[in-house]
Amino acid sequence: MSETEINNIFQSNTRHTSLDAPVHEAEDVAMGDLLEGGSDTDDDVMKDSLRNEIRRVLKSLSPREAEIVNAYFGLDGENGVTIEQIGQKYDLTKERIRQIKERAIKRLQKARYSSALKSYLG
C-alpha cells in the first residue's frame, strides 16, 4: 500500500454506525434489517462446518468404508441408498456391505472421532 493510500484512509470519514441504529428517526427499521443474510447465515456456517468435519472424520476410514457410509447415509446431500444397492455397485453381498458399514461406524464412534462431531448435537 502506498503512502498516499494510507493518508487517504486516515483522512476519510471514519464515523462508525451501529447496525442496530435506526435508518431514520421516524422509522422503526434498523440498518442491519436492510442487509441480506440474516439468521440463515449462522445455520449455513454451521452446516458447512459440519460437512467439513464429516469429510475430515471420513478420511480416517478406508476409501471403501468411507464410500459405503457416505452412500448409505446420503452424506453428499443426496438420499441414502439401500445396502442392496451399494452391494450391487461393489459386487458384494448385502451381508458383506452391512459388515463393512457396521465396522466403519464402530471406528467412527471411537472417542477421538466422535468428540469432534458431538459438538454439533447441541
pTM: 0.60
pLDDT, tens digit, 9 for 90 and up, residues 7-62: 776 666 566 667 777 777 767 777 677 666 555 677 778 888 888 888 888 888 99
List Cβ<8 Å contacts ≥24 apart for 104-107: 104/61, 104/65, 104/66, 104/68, 104/69, 105/69, 107/60, 107/61, 107/65
CATH architecture of 31-118: Orthogonal Bundle (1.10)
CA distance 76 to 86: 15
List Cβ<8 Å contacts ≥24 apart for 39-43: none
- pLDDT band of 82, cuts 50, 70, 90: very high
